[in-house]
Amino acid sequence: MTQFANYINGEWLQGAGINKNVNPSDLSDIIGEYAQADAAQADIAIAAAHAAFPAWSVGNIQARSDALDKIGSEILARKEELGRLLSREEGKTLAEGIGEAGRAGNIFKFFAAEVLRIQGQKLASVRPGMDIEITREPVGVVGIIAPWNFPMAIPAWKIAPALAYGNTVVFKPAELVPGSAWAIADIISRSGIPAGVFNLVMGRGSVVGQRFIDDRRVSALTFTGSVSTGGRVAQGCVARMAKFQLEMGGKNPLVVLNDADLNVAVTAAVQGAFFSTGQRCTASSRIIVEKDIYPRFIEAARNQLAGLKIGHALTADTNIGPVVDQSQLDQNLSYVEIGKQEGANLVFGGERVKRDTDGFYMTPALFADCNNDMRISREEIFGPVASVIPADNYEHALQLANDTEFGLSSGICTTSLKYATHFKRNAQAGMVMVNTATAGVDYHVPFGGRKASSFGPREQGAYAAEFYTTVKTAYTSA
């Protein structure tokens, strides 16, 4: 069995332990054994990034751009191979895995160009003979803690801007998906980036992640994961006044009005709620439907779900792959029982199913006749479980959509320009979708939410500069 090491200060180092990477589509398939760092190895990585920062932060920007472009080009050239690895270890379909790998490559290419257009300002002073320059500078060592559900795209949209703006990186991927992280690190190791600038430290969050939080040499920490863990990250960073960025949960609404195109609305709901096995923070897990179209919507959604194939992620005709692991499967099925106990009507799925290979398979669960006070309508499940909630009219639907502690993504299906325009302005979310799924975003524009979903500057696109740089104002007397 192949063993994969951590990448620290330009070297591949074995860890203090081993993590076996299991395919959720086939539990007999062990992808590899991946190093597990302890606190001491995490300290070595932080020290390496800290030592590499002075030279990298003021180095040649063309060399920095060339390295990021080389990384992006290799990812794109190998996207089918990398996408297969991603799907094999995370469980999303092969088409989704290849698409995500391609997105990761494009992110690195985007930030390769951003390196060459880091902007500042030159302003006139209110004092005669005084010159003012406003510039952006890197913050220092950036700690990156990434989740398992997008094991290439999310690391890419954190690593690429961190490096582009002159920071050094210590990166801890989720334990469930070390293969994708290792593959990215392997590509970065051959890009020409100096030793210590990028470091891969695979290991437990309570060990490696905690070192990132506690160590004063880590100037900034970007985290994507659960609300509870995000809260602990925030507390630790505030205690030592480190910069931090959080992307956490979602309970995203999709509003369907009476005038909506039914096929468009059902497709948006099914794709948004259930594709990628519902394991997306942007998934539309609350579907709010006006009463006149409600019965037809439920019937059409059931029919579309019945036509989907749940199976091995690498099988060509699979629409929905397995859940990522046993713990997540147990959580999903427990919420199905909670929904039944709360009085919701399970109109489709919600069952553990067997396939030719032993994996974590379940049918997508669609609940009807829900209300916004049910736990299945308020708590993030992070699986293929969705609640359909009736609404009296547009105003009621908007109120229901905004009645949540989260505010990541929000959607509406309507043919009315009036309602679409009003919803875009009044939906309390960081991203709004009209006549399309709440999940699915471009890589060159801001990503993030409000309320309990996000904290700090947006990720992705040119807005990433807000987190990965600090602003300096310089005065010169003539």
pLDDT digits (tens, 9 = 90+) for 104-126: 999 999 999 999 999 999 999 99
Query: Distance between CA 4 and CA 17 in Å, rounded?
Result: 11
pLDDT higher than 90, residue 89 = yes
Query: Distance between CA 353 and CA 383 in Å, rounded?
Result: 15
pLDDT score of 2? 77
Please indicate whether residue 247 is annotated as part of the active site: yes
Q: Considering Cα of 125, then 129, then 135, then 141, what sign does the dihedral take?
A: negative
Note the pLDDT tens digit of each residue in 380-420.
Answer: 999 999 999 999 999 999 999 999 999 999 999 999 999 99
Q: Average pLDDT of 333-353?
A: 98
pLDDT-based confidence at residue 478 (cuts at 50, 70, 90): confident
Tokens 């325009």 sit on residue: 421
Point out the catalytic residue in the list 90, 247, 290, 459.
247
Query: Distance between CA 10 and CA 49 in Å, rounded?
Result: 10
pLDDT higher than 90, residue 308 = yes
Backbone angles phi, psi at 145, to 5 degrees: -120, 115
Query: Distance between CA 285 and CA 61 in Å, rounded?
Result: 43
Nearest alpha carbon to residue 56 among 142, 146, 134: 142
Please indicate whether residue 237 is annotated as part of the active site: no
Tokens 């471009």 sit on residue: 442
Point out the catalytic residue in the list 90, 237, 281, 413.
281
Nearest alpha carbon to residue 143 among 72, 83, 219: 219
Nearest alpha carbon to residue 467 among 81, 101, 91, 160: 160
pLDDT score of 414? 98
Helix/strand/coil percent split, the chain, to 5: 40, 25, 35
Note the pLDDT tens digit of each residue in 262-306.
Answer: 999 999 999 999 999 999 999 999 999 999 999 999 999 999 999
- What is the average pLDDT value for the chain, to the nearest integer? 97
pLDDT score of 64? 98
pLDDT higher than 80, residue 90 = yes
